[in-house]
Structure 1
Amino acid sequence: MQSTLALLLGALALTNAQPTQRAQAAEPSHVPNAYFVHLRNTTADGGRADPKAAFHRKCAEKAVAYNVRYEFNDSDLFYGLSVSLSNDSAVDALKSIPEVTHVSPVRWIPRPELDTTFADNSAAAFESNLHHAVRSAASHHAKRATSADAAAVDFNSAHRLTGVDEAHAAGVRGAGVKIAIVDSGVDHRHPALGGCFGSGCKFSFGYDLVGDAYDGYDPSKIAPKPDPLTTCLGGFHGTHVSGIVGMDATETNDTLFSSLVGVAPEAELGMYRVFGCTGGAHEDVIVAAMQRAADDGPHLISMSLGGYAAWGGDPSSPYLELVAGLKRRGIAVVAAAGNNGESGPFWLSDPAIMPDALAVASVENSEFPTYELRDDGGESHRYGALYPFPSGNYTAVVAGDGSAQSEFGCFSENYEALAANLTGDISNYVVVVKRGWCPVTVSQQQAVANGFTKILTFPDPDSDNIFIQGYGVPVVAVVGNGTIVSIGSTTDSTIYDAIKTNGEVKLSFTDKTPVLEEQFLGGQMNNFSSVGPSWDFALKPQIAAPGGNIISTYPLGGGGWAVASGTSMAAPYLSGVYALVKSQHPDLSIDEIFDILKTTAKPLLAAGREDYSPTPQQGAGLVSAADAVFHQTTVSPSQFELGGTEKLATVDTTITLRNPTAEDVTYELGHTAANGMAFYPYGNSAPDNLGWSDGRYINLAPLPFAASIKFPSSTSVTVPAGGSASVAFTVSPPTGLDPKEIPIYSGFITATSSLNETLSIPYVGAPYDYATTPLIGLDPPTPGIHDANRSVFAAPQVYQYGSKLAQGAHQAYNFYDDDTPVFRYSLLQPTRWTRVDVVDAATDFVPTWYGYDPTQAVTNYTRTSMTPNGTVAGVEVLGNIYLFSGDTPLTQLSLQWSFPLRDVTGTTYVGLKKGGYRLLVQWLRFGGDEEKREDWESWMSGIIESTRDAYEGPVNGTVV
C-alpha cells in the first residue's frame, strides 16, 4: 500500500513522475478525503480507557471535522474506523492523536476484470522459440466425449484435471464446511445454487452491504439489505464464482449443463456483496464485509478481488491486521493473485499478497465444448461455444474495412461501414473477427453495439502468441430484446481464408450436441495470471487452480450459465478444495491444510515448453484435490523464501517429513529446477538501455539459470511408522548474474515415498546480494540530457527547469514560473520507503552519496530561518516533498519542486522561506529498520537557494 502522501500527490507535486511503463488493468485510486484510522486497542490489553471515545474527544479538541464511514470493533481483527474528512489537512491532526497508530487512504478498488485471455499480451509469456508449439487444430484437439444426448456430456473437465472427481466419487463433497464469499452478490434463485436464501438453503448466510445502484463513487447510493441477491448481469461475477465453489446442477432440469457440480457442492455458502451492478468498491466496504463475514463463523473467506500491492508487510494496510486476525480465529483467506500477467513479474494484488493469505494463480481448463458447422462446400468445422448457434444458414463476413488491423474488430468503426453495406436482416450474418489484439470481450461489445448477434473469432495467423490458439469465448452478452448473443471461436483461419478467396461463404449451423475437445495448453498456466514474487521476494502466488475458460452459473436473466476466465475463477476453485480437505480432516489447522495443498500440488511445465514454469508464476503448482484429501505423509514447511544471498545463510533449509501410517516409509529426495526469470530479462541486449526499463522488455522470458541443491546427509530417508524425520539441504544460487536485471531463481524440493506419493516444496530466491547492491544509478550523467534518453544508470541530479542546466554545488532559484529546481533519478532496486526530504544547507549530515563535491565549501548564500520539522532516523529535516512506500524500480522519477514543503510526515504544508537548502533523498530497503540510521541509504544535493519567501506556511491544506 502506498503512503498517504503518495496517493495524494498530484500535478502540483509531480510534474513528470514516470514509473516504468507496464501494462495493467484498472488499478486502485484514493477515495477523496477518506481514510482508515488504525487505533491502539488499549481495552483489549486490560486498559480502562475507550480508544474510540478518546479519539472522538480529541478530534473535537483539535476541531477536526469528519464523518464516520464504518466502525471496526473486532479487537482481534482490524480495530479502528474509516472516516471522511472535510479537508485532507486534518490527516496530520489525526496522526498526532496518541490512540492512532496509522492513518491510511481508503482506496477505490476496481471491480474484477475477466477475459484477458486473448489480448495481445504475448510479451508477458514465454515467447522464445514457441512457433513449434502452435499446431493445427486437427493434431491438437482430440475428441474426449461425444453423445447423442447433450445432457449426458460431463462438463466437469476441471475436476478431472485436479482429481476433484475422485474426491466426489469417494463421497467427499465439502459437507460441514462454511465458506464465505466476498464479491458482487449472487443470484441464488438459480436452481444449481439452491434456489433460495436463508436457513436450510445452500446460501444460508450473508449480507448485501451496498445494493444495486452503488458504483464505488457516490456513497449516497449505498443501500444495504439482508439478502445478497443480485440479478443484474453487471453483477454476474459473484454468481459465477459461487457456482465454481458449490453449484450442483445434477438435480435440476437443465437440458445442457445438468452434469455440472462445484468443487464443494455440499458446503454451506455465504455471500457478502461489496460491488453494485456497475463500478468499483471502496476498500472500507470490503474490510467491513470481511469482518461481518468473520462474525458469522465461516471456515474460510474466498476473495476474487483486490488491487495492486508491492508487498504484504505494510503496517498501514488494514488487510495485514485483518487477515492475520482471521487466521487466529481459524478462518482462512483464499484470494485471487490477480490478472496482470501481461505486466510481467512482481505484479500482485492484495489481500492475496498478505503473509497469512493463500494467493491463487490460474491454469487453463483441459477441455472446451465445441459444435459442428458446415460451409457451403460441405466441409465440417468445429467451433467452441457455450451454446450452439441458432439453427440456420448464414452469410459469413469479415470485420473491418479490409485492413489487417480493422479485422480484429476492436473499434466500433470496424463494424459500422460493414453493417451499413449489408443487405437484408443483419441477423442473417455471422461476423468473422480476428483475435489476438484486444480481448474478445471488446470485439463482442463493439460488434453487438453495431447490431451483430452472431460472432465467430479465429486466431491471428501472423501472431506468435500461443495463448490465442485455443478455444475461448467471453461471458454471455444479452441484447435489448433478451436475445443471447452467439459467439464462438475456431482454432484456425480456414473460414477467414475462404472468405478472402471466394468473397462470400455460407455457414450452416444445425448441430446442437456438444463435443468436449482437448483445449490447447489445457492444464498449463494462463498468461493473464499475475506473476510474483512480491518486492520483498516473498513467494506469491503460492498455488494454482483451474481458472481459464471455466463454465459456471450466471444470473438467470442472462441464460443461467457462462464461461469466464481469471484468477477470480481459480480462487473459488481452490477454496472448494480447501473445503474438501477440511470436511475430511476437520481438526487440521489453516497452516496444516495450506501445507497439504501446496506439497501435494503438481509442478507445471512452462506453457508450450519442456521446462518448468518459475514458482513465482505457478506457486507450488496445480492443486491435486485427491492427493490433498487422501494424503498420508505431511511435509513442512511448504515453501521456502530464500531472499537475496545475504539472507540465505539465515534461512533454515530443513524439511520435516511426518509418517502417520502403521508402516515404515522410505523417501527419495530430489530437486526440480524451474526456469530462471528477471524483471529486466534482456539486460543490455536492447539498444539505449531499453532492455532495463522499457515496458516492452519486462516479461516472463525463460532464462537459463538455476540453483544447485545438495542434501549433505543423504538423498534417502526412512521414517518409522508414526514418526518424523528432518532433512537439511543446502542451496547454491546461480552466479554471475547482473543484479540490475533483478534476477530470480526458483524450483522445487521433491520427496517420493514408498507409498507412491510425490510431494514437492517450492522455493524462490534472488541470486545476488540485495543488501549491498546499489539502489540507484551512480554513473556520471551525460550533460544536457534530462529527458527519456537519460541513462537509467546515471546518478541523481538537480537542474534548472527553465534552462535545463545541471546544478552544481550551488544554484539560486526564485521559485516562480520556470525558475524552479527539478530532481531526477532512476531506481534500480525495490525499496520499502523512498523519501525526498529537505535539510538546511549547513547540515553536517554525511550521506551515502554526494551530488556535489563536499570538499568545496560554499558560503555565499543566505541561511534559511526555517527550523527542523522533525527527524528521520535521527536526521533533522525541515520538511518533505516526496514520500512513497513500496517503491519499485522505475525508469525515471522527475520531480519539479514548485510547491511549499510539507511536514516530515508528508501531510501538511509548512511553507518555504528564503534561504539555502539541500535535497536529502533517502531509501530504506526491505528488511531494514526505519529507526536505524545505518539501514537508510541517502543521496544529498548541492545547495538549492530560494531567493525569496516563496510560500507562506503553514498552509491550510495538503496536496490533492
Structure 2
Amino acid sequence: MKSGKALLALILCSSAFALAPIPTAQQAKDASNYVPNAFILELSNGDAVSKRTLVSRHEEIYAAMRTRGIAFDIGEEYNTPNIFIGAAIRLSSSNDVTKLSEIPGVKAIRPIVKVYAPEHYLSLRPVSSTVVKDPKASDIPDTYSTHVMTGVDKVHAQGNFGQGIKIGIIDTGIDYNHPLLCDHADDEGSSCFGPGNKVIGGYDFVGDAFNGEDTPSPDHNPLDECNGPRDVCIIAASPDNTMGISGVAYNASLASYRIFGCIGYTSDDIISAALIMAYNQGMNILTLSLGGANGWTTGTASVVASRIAAQGRVVTTGLDGAWYASDPGAGIGVIPVASVDNIVSPIQNMTVEGVNHDPIPYFMATPLHGVNGSMPIYATSTNFSQPDDAGTCMFTQKLANVAAKGAKVAVIYNSDTGAFAAISVGGYTAVLISAADGKFLVEQFAAGVNITLNFPQGGAAFAVANPDGGLISSFSTIGPTFDMYPGVALAAPGGNILSTLPIKLGSYALESGTSMSCPFAAGAAALVLKAIGTTPAAGEAVMRILQTTAAGVAGSHTDGAPLKSVAQQGAGLIQVDRAIAMQTIVSPGQIALNDTEHFKANHTISITNTGNKTVAYKIRHVPAGTVGTIDASTHDVDTTPALIPGAATVTFSASTITLHAQQTHHITATFSPPDGLNTTLPVYSGFIEVTAANETLKVTYLGVAATLRETPVLDTSSEFFGIPLPALITAQGRPQGGPTNYTFQGEDFPFFLFRMVFGTALLRIDLVDKDEQLTPSIPLPSRRGIAPTPFTWWWTESTAGTFSKIKTIGPIGEMDYVARSTNDPFGGYSSFGFQGTFANATRINDGQYRALLRALKVNGNRNNEEDFESWMSPQFGVVTPA
C-alpha cells in the first residue's frame, strides 16, 4: 500500500509524460471533452421569436428548427429569466449548427462538455484516501483542528452554527442515512430525508445506472450509496460523535442535487440544470467541486454560475490547474477554493487563571516541557499591529531579545493575516497561539488584570503531526484564467481531512483534495451569512468579506519565507471569526492587473470605518511570490511553477488615514509590474494591507509580467505522439504520409490532430486549393532541436501570400474558447473530424485540397492576421467512389 501511494504521488506531481499512442478516429472521438453532436442553445429573453404566435419561446425555436430540416432530440430545458433560458439538444449532424445560428432568438450555441467526477481531476480528486474502520484509532486527526486554523471554533463558541442557511450540494448525491447526518436513521419507519431533517430535499438528475453515455433516469430521491460526496461531513456533521467530527455549519439545512451515476461522467447541461434548480429552490449557497476542461469564463456552467452569483447567492467551486480553471470554477463572482494541509499536529491547551476564560490552544505536539506552575505575563507591546514587536527580525531573534531581558517562556500570538501553523523558534522555549487569544491576553495585561498561564503536562488534543500543516497542499492547482480573473479566490483546509463515505463503502475516510476545501468554504460562507443576513447584497459581499480577512499563507515554515503566490492561495486561508467581527470594510477584495499589454496602473481602494469610534489606519504593500507558469523549453504550462525573483512596486495616494465612525475614504494604489523577468509568463501578486490597532484587512492583486498575446498556442513538437503536430491522421490512426485521396465512406476519412499548449478563443479550419501558398506562423517542427523528419514537407515555405489574402474555398469547422491540453496520454489532445463537407453540411466537390488551421492567440484581435498561429495541412483529395 505504501509503494502504491508513492507511485501515485510521483505520477501526479510530474509534468513529464510517456509517449502517447496516436489515436484512431474513434479513440479521438471518445477522448473528446465534448459530447458528440450535443449543444446548449441559449435563447434571448422575451415572450416569443414572433409576436404573432402565442406558443412558448422554446416551442417556437423548435418549430423553426423543424422548418429548416434540423433533426434533433431535446434534453434539459432552462427557463429562468436573469439566469438562463434555453435548451440542451442532440443533433443528427453537427453540420446543422450553422442552420441553428441563423434562427432569430438563438443567442448562443455552446457545445455540451463532458465532466468527470472529482476523482478524474488532479486537484479535485481525493489525492489520498484511507477508509477508517476504527473510530477510536489513535492516528486519526481530529478535524476540529481545521476549525482552529480558520477561527470556526470561535464562531461556534458564539452560538453560530449556520442555522437557517440553506446549502445546495451539487455532486454525487448524499447517503442521508449516515449517522453523522441523521440521529434517527435506525428508527423503524422514520425518514432521514425531507423537511425536518438535515437533508431537506434535492433531486437526482441521473440515477444509479447513468454513465454519461446512456439516458438519465431522474427522480426526486438523491440517495447515493455508491460514491458519496466528501462535502457533507465537512459542512454538516453533527457533533458529539465517536469520530470527533464537527461540521463547519452543522445546523445548516442541506439539499442534494445528484448529477453523477455510480460510474462514468456527466455533462455541463446537467450541471447547469442542477445549478438553476438549486437557485430556484432558494439555496443561499451552492457548492460543487467539479468541472470540465476550460480556462475561460464562457462555458455554459460558468455563465450560469456567474449569473447566480450576481443575484446574491454564494457559489463555491474547485479548480483544476494553471490557465485551466474548470467550468463552472471559471465563473465571474464564484469562489474557487485552493487547499491548505490540515495541521493535524497535536495542539496543547494552556489554562488561564485570574479571569474566566476557556483554555487557550497552543501549537505544539507535546506539552511545553518543564514549564510548571502558574506564570505571570508581560506584553512587549500593547499595539496589536506593531510589526517590530520585540524587534524587526526573525522569530528567533525576537526570542533572543526577550530572553536577554529575563523572559523564560515566550508566547507568540499570530498577526491578523497569519495562519495558525508551525513556526521555527530555534532552541527557545516558546509557543504559538492565535491572534484572537493573543489580543485577549494583551488586553488583560494592559488593563492591569492579575492574569497567569499554566501549561499542563499531560493530554494532547491531537495525535498526528503534519510538518506541512497550514501550507498550500502540493496537489492544489492554480489560476489564473485566460481572461485574467485570478482563478483562485481563497484557500481552506483540504489536505488530510476526516470525512464521510456512504455506509456501504465504509462510512469514514481520510481524504485530500479541493473536494474537501470547497465545501469547507461553503460552510464558512454559511456562518458569515448567519451573522450578516441573507439579502442579495449580503450574498454578493461574502467573497469580499472572506478575502479581505483571510490569513496569508507562506511558501514554507521557514521564518521569513515569502508568501505563496496569489495564483496558488488566492487571498489566503479563510478566517471566519475575523470575517464576522470586522469593523472595517475594504473594497474591492481583489484586483486583476491583467498582462502588460492591458495593464491598468491605478486602482481605487475604499476603506469604511463601520464602528462607533475614530480609527487610524496604515496602508502598506506586502508582495507575494512571483512564479513562472510556462516551461521555457517546451512552452507547456508548468504544473509545478517555480518561484522566481521579482515583485511589483506599489505607491499610495496616502499611507495613513484617520476615519471617524461610519466614514469612508478612497485611496489610489499605483502599481508597477516587476521588470526584467524571463519569458516564462511570470505571474506576480501580493496584498495591500489596511491595518488598524485591532484589525488588519487586505486587498489581493495579481498580474502577468508579460503579454499573453505572445504566448504560443499550438503544440508544434513531436514529444507527445512522436510525430510533429498538428497532423492529419487517417481513421485507422496513421499519420498521412503523402497526398492521399479519401472517399469519406465508412472509415475512409481523415481527422485533424493537434494539442493546445495554451487556450484559444477561436480555432478555425478552412479549405484551400492544394497549390495555395502560405508562410505559416508555426515554424518547422524543431522547437526542441528535433531533426527534420519525413513529415517536414507538410510546411509550405513560400512567401507568396498571407492568410488574410489567401483565397479560402469555405470553412470546414470552427471551435470557440478551446481549453489548453493536459499531459494525459489518452486525452491530452484535441481533434476535429473531417467528413468531406463544409461546416454547413454541403459536400465538397471532388478535387485536391489542403486545410488551413488558424488559432487566435489569447487577447488577439480576430481581424488581425498577426494574432493567429497558422498551419497548412498536407494535400488530400476528395473523390467520389467508383
Same fold by TM-score greater than 0.5? yes
Q: Relative to structure 2, which stretch is displaced further, 827-836 or 360-369?
A: 827-836
Change (3 A) 1:187 1:854: closer
Q: Where in structure 2 are the equivalents of 1:738-817 lying within 5 Å?
A: 738-739=678-679, 741-754=680-693, 756-771=694-709, 787-788=718-719
Aligned to 2:207: 211
Distance 2:124 2:198 in 1: 35
Report the equivalent of 2:47.
Answer: 43
Quick one: which of 588, 591, 612 aligns to 1:637? 588
Find the residue that maps to 2:523 and give its secondary structure: helix
Aligned partner of 1:734: which letter?
Answer: P
2:778 maps to 1:838? no
Match of 1:54? 60
Query: Which secondary structure does the structure 1 equivalent of 2:464 belong to?
Result: strand
Deviation (angstroms), 1:643 = 1.3
Q: Which residue of 2 aligns with 1:669?
A: 619
| Residue 154 (structure 2) pairs with residue 166 (structure 1) | yes
Alignment of 1:402-801 (within 5 A): 515-586=462-533, 587=535, 588-607=537-556, 610-649=561-600, 652-681=602-631, 683=632, 691-693=633-635, 698-711=639-652, 713-739=653-679, 741-754=680-693, 756-771=694-709, 787-788=718-719
| Map of 2:361 onto structure 1 | none
Q: Can you list the C-alpha shifts for 1:648-667, whole angstroms capped at 9, x where unaligned? A: 13x64221111111222222
Task: String of CA shifts for 1:633-679, please: whole Å, max 9, x gaps.
Answer: 11111111111111113x64221111111222222122222222122
Q: How far 1:881 moved relative to its partner?
A: 5.7
1:879 aligns with 2:828: no
Q: How does 1:861-876 map to 2 (within 5 A)?
A: none
Q: Which residue does 1:365 correspond to in 2?
A: 342
AA of the residue aligned to 2:331 = M
Q: Which residue of structure 1 aligns with residue 91 of structure 2?
A: 85
* Cα-to-partner distance string for 1:110-159 (whole Å, 9 max, x where unaligned): 1121897999999xxxxxxxxxxxxxxxxxxxxxxxx9999999641100
Partners of 1:119 and 1:86 in 2: CA distance: 35
What's the CA shift for 1:86? Answer: 3.7
Q: For 1:305 and 1:121, how far apart are their aligned partners in 2?
A: 14
Q: Secondary structure, in 3 states, of the residue corresponding to 1:575?
A: helix
Shift in CA distance, 828/204, structure 1 to aligned 2, threshold 3 Å: closer
Amino acid at match of 1:766: V
Query: Equivalences for 1:213-252 in 2 at 5 Å?
Result: 213-219=209-215, 222-230=216-224, 232=225, 234-237=226-229, 240-250=230-240
Q: Is the 8 A contact 1:797 1:941 kept in 2?
A: no
In 2, the alpha carbon distance for the partners of 1:167 and 1:628 equals: 10
Return the letter of the residue paired with 1:322: V
Is residue 112 of structure 1 aligned with residue 52 of structure 2? Answer: no
In 2 relative to 1, CA 617–716 (structure 1 residues): closer, same or farther, beyond 3 Å?
Answer: same
In 2 relative to 1, CA 65–698 (structure 1 residues): closer, same or farther, beyond 3 Å?
Answer: same
* TM-score, structure 1 normalization: 0.65
1:148 and 1:881 map into 2 onto residues whose CA distance is 60
Q: Distance between the aligned counterparts of 1:166 and 1:519, measured in 2?
A: 23
2:790 corresponding residue in structure 1: none
**TM-score between the two structures when normalised by the length of structure 2:** 0.70
Are the structure 2 counterparts of residues 299 and 857 from structure 1 closer, same or farther at C-alpha, using a change threshold of 3 Å?
closer
- Contact 2:124 2:513 (C-alpha < 8 Å) held by counterparts: no
Query: In angstroms, what is the RMSD of aligned CA positions?
Result: 4.8
CA–CA distance in 1 between the matches of 2:543 and 2:833?
51
Task: After TM superposition, give the deviation of residue 797 of structure 1 in Å.
Answer: 11
Preserved contact between residue 764 and residue 811 of structure 2 (Cα < 8 Å): no
Corresponding residue number in structure 2 for 1:436: none
Contact 1:13 1:899 survives alignment (8 Å): no
Question: What amino acid sits opposite 2:234 in the alignment?
Answer: I
Distance, in Å, in 1 between the alignment partners of 2:202 and 2:227 is 16
Unaligned runs of 5+ in 2: 1-21, 129-134, 184-191, 348-364, 366-458, 780-794
Q: CA deviation at 1:576?
A: 0.9
- Residue type of the partner of 2:811? G
Q: Which residue identity is paired with 1:606?
A: G
Give the Cα–Cα distance (whole angstroms) in 1 for the partners of residues 50 and 238 of structure 2.
49
Q: Percent identity?
A: 29
* TM superposition shift of 1:514: 9.1
Whole-angstrom CA distance in 1 between matches of 2:26 and 2:336: 34
CA distance in 2, matches of 1:632, 1:924: 47
Asked whether 1:97 is paired with 2:103, we answer yes
- Aligned partner of 2:324 among 341, 347, 356: 347
Q: Which amino acid aligns with 1:68?
A: I
SS state at 1:52 partner? helix
Tell me how far 1:263 sits from its aligned partner: 0.9
The count of corresponding residues between Structure 1 and Structure 2 is: 709
Who is 1:141 aligned against? none
C-alpha displacement at 1:97, in angstroms? Answer: 2.6
Provide the rounded CA distance (Å) in 2 between the counterparts of 1:694 and 1:74: 40
Q: Distance in 1 between matches of 2:124 and 2:44?
A: 48
Q: 1:100, 1:796 → 2: CA distance?
A: 33
Aligned to 1:765, the other structure's residue is in SS state strand
Contact 1:337/1:348 (<8 A) preserved:
yes
Q: How far apart, CA to CA, are the structure 2 residues paired with 1:210 and 1:282?
A: 11
Residue 360 of structure 1 contacts residue 543 of structure 1 at CA under 8 Å; is this kept in 2? yes
Q: CA shift at 1:921, angstroms?
A: 4.0
Q: Which moved more, 1:845-854 or 1:873-882?
A: 845-854
Q: 1:937 aligns with which of 840, 861, 868?
A: 868
> What's 2:384 paired with?
none
**Letter aligned with residue 239 of structure 2:** A
Residues 347 and 89 (structure 1), Cα distance of their counterparts in 2 relative to 1, 3 Å cut: closer
Cα offset, 1:206, TM superposition: 1.4
8 Å CA contact retained: 2:324, 2:819: no
Structure 1 residue 581: Cα displacement: 0.9
Within 2, Cα distance between the matches of 1:661 and 1:44?
A: 52
Describe the shift of the 1:46–1:765 C-alpha distance in structure 2 as closer, same or farther (beyond 3 A). Answer: farther
Aligned to 1:178: 166
CA gap of 1:60–1:824, structure 2 versus 1, over 3 A, is closer
Matched position secondary structure for 2:618:
strand
Asked if the contact 1:833/1:883 (under 8 Å) is kept, the reply is: yes
**Alpha-carbon deviation of 1:951?**
6.0
Residue 726 of structure 1 aligns to a residue whose secondary structure is strand
Q: For the structure 1 residues 166 and 516, does the alpha-carbon distance in structure 2 shift closer, same or farther, using more than 3 Å as the test? A: same
- State how far apart, in whole Å, the 2-side matches of 1:194 and 1:568 are: 22
Structure 1 residues 654 and 878 mapped into 2: Cα distance closer, same or farther (>3 Å)?
Answer: same
Are 1:910 and 2:850 counterparts? no
Q: Which runs of 5+ in 1 are unaligned?
A: 1-9, 18-25, 123-146, 371-383, 385-511, 684-690, 859-870, 953-960
- Say if 2:630 and 2:681, in contact at 8 Å, map to a contact too: yes
Q: 2:248 maps to which residue?
A: 263
1:715 to 1:557, Cα distance in 2 relative to 1, 3 A: same
Asked whether 1:201 is paired with 2:197, we answer yes
Shift, 1:210, TM fit: 2.5
